[in-house]
């Protein structure tokens, strides 16, 4: 079953036998509260990998932006602040800067390294333009011990939850074409 949106491109939801997603797979665990999380081994920003040992991140398609624990977010912000000229950040984003779209295309790509699955984000889910030439790094500081992988960073991926086999799959896709 597919739920189409005739107004504009969006996401599709498949059920039953069409819900199988192939791609990068990582073990998924469920907390006592019913939340799903995976192990995160690190994040690569450009050519620099930031390893994380014994860290977990919730997979939450109901939350817009990814929330990162300060131990994870701070090294990323430090690296990016060396590459751009930070300006006052509107709202919850800690790093905003003036840049053209071409400048942003030249910024480092970000890859989440889950246990067995390397999920490379597209630039549009790492940096977002809020006004003409005002861009922000769209990850938010977590105010508790949790990190959470939100739905904005899931864009242009088919995400498959196989709860029976305790696996979540990430398959790159250009969702606007479906």
Residue 62 domain flag: yes
The residue with greater pLDDT, 6 or 92, is 92
- Tell me the C-alpha distance between 103 and 130, whole Å: 15
Q: What is the pLDDT of residue 5?
A: 46
Reference 155, options 112, 126, 134; nearest CA is 126
Does residue 10 form part of some domain? no
- The verdict on residue 4 lying in a domain is no
pLDDT digits (tens, 9 = 90+) for 23-60: 899 999 998 988 899 999 999 999 999 999 889 999 88
| 104 found inside a domain | yes
The H-or-E segment that residue 55 falls in is: strand 48-59
Cα–Cα nearest to 110, from 169, 40, 21? 40
Looking at residue 116, its pLDDT comes to 92
Range of the domain at 138: 16-177
Q: Is residue 159 part of a domain?
A: yes
Q: Are 128 and 138 in contact (CB under 8 A)?
A: yes
Query: How far is 57 from 69, CA to CA, in rounded Å?
Result: 9
What's the pLDDT band for 160 if we cut at 50, 70, 90? confident
Query: What is the DSSP annotation of 110-153?
Result: EEEEETTEEEEPPGGGTEEEEETTEEEE-EEE-SSS--EE-GGG
Query: What pLDDT, in 10s, does the model give residues 59-117?
Result: 888 888 999 999 999 999 999 999 999 997 768 899 999 999 999 999 999 999 999 99
2 in any annotated domain = no
Helices (H), 54-160: 70-81, 101-105
Q: Name the domain count of the chain.
A: 1
What would the two tokens of residue 177 be? 């074409």
Assign residue 42 the CATH number of its domain.
Answer: 2.40.70.10
């Amino acid at each position: 079953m597919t739920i189409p949106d005739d107004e504009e491109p969006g996401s599709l939801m498949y059920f039953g036998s069409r819900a199988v997603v192939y791609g990068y797979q990582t073990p998924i665990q469920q907390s006592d509260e019913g939340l799903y999380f995976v192990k995160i081994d690190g994040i690569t920003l450009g050519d620099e990998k930031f390893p994380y040992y014994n860290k977990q991140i919730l997979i939450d398609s109901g939350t817009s932006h990814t929330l990162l624990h300060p131990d994870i977010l701070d090294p990323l912000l430090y690296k990016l602040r060396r590459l751009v000229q930070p300006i006052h950040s509107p709202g919850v984003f800690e790093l905003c800067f003036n840049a053209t779209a071409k400048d942003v295309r030249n910024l480092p790509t970000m890859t989440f390294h889950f246990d067995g699955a390397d999920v490379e984000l597209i630039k549009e889910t790492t940096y977002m333009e809020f006004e003409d030439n005002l861009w922000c790094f769209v990850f938010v500081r977590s105010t508790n011990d949790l990190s959470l992988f939100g739905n904005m960073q899931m864009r242009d991926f088919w995400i498959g939850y196989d709860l029976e086999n305790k696996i979540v799959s990430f398959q790159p896709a250009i969702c606007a074409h479906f």
